[in-house]
Structure 1
Amino acid sequence: MAPGAAVSRSLKIFVGNIPWTVGHRELRNYFAQFGRIAWSQVIFDRKTGLSKGYGFIVFQKRSALENLEKKQKHVLEQSTIFYQQSE
Structure 2
Amino acid sequence: MAFAARRMGNRIFVGNLPWTIGSAELRDYFSQFGQVVHTQVLFDKQTGLSRGFGFVGFQSQESMNKALDRNPHFLEGYYLNVDHHGGRVRPVGGDRFQGRGN
Q: If the TM-score is normalised by the length of the shorter chain, which range does it land in?
A: 0.7 to 0.9
Structure 2: segments with no counterpart, 5+ residues: 87-102
If you compute each CA radius of gyration, which structure gives the higher value, 1 or 2?
2
Cα shift readout 1:49-85 (whole Å, capped 9, x = no counterpart): 1000000011010111222133221011010001111
Runs of 4+ in 1 over 2 A off after TM superposition: none
Cα shift readout 1:10-65 (whole Å, capped 9, x = no counterpart): 10111100000111111111111101011101001111110000000110101112
Once the two structures are superposed, the pairs formed by residues 1-87 of structure 1 within 5 Å of their partners are: 4=4, 6-7=7-8, 10-87=9-86
Distance 2:54 2:64 in 1: 16
Distance 1:22 1:60 in 2: 22
Distance 1:77 1:24 in 2: 14
Q: For this pair of structures, how many residues does the alignment match?
A: 82
Distance 2:47 2:79 in 1: 24
Greater strand share, structure number = 1
Identity of aligned residues (%): 40
**Highest relative contact order (Cα 8 Å, sep 6+), 1 or 2?**
1
Distance 1:86 1:36 in 2: 17
TM-score, length-scaled by structure 1 = 0.86
Distance 1:24 1:6 in 2: 20
CA root-mean-square deviation: 1.3
Of 49-58 and 64-73, more deviation after overlay is shown by 64-73
Paired AA for residue 52 in structure 1? R
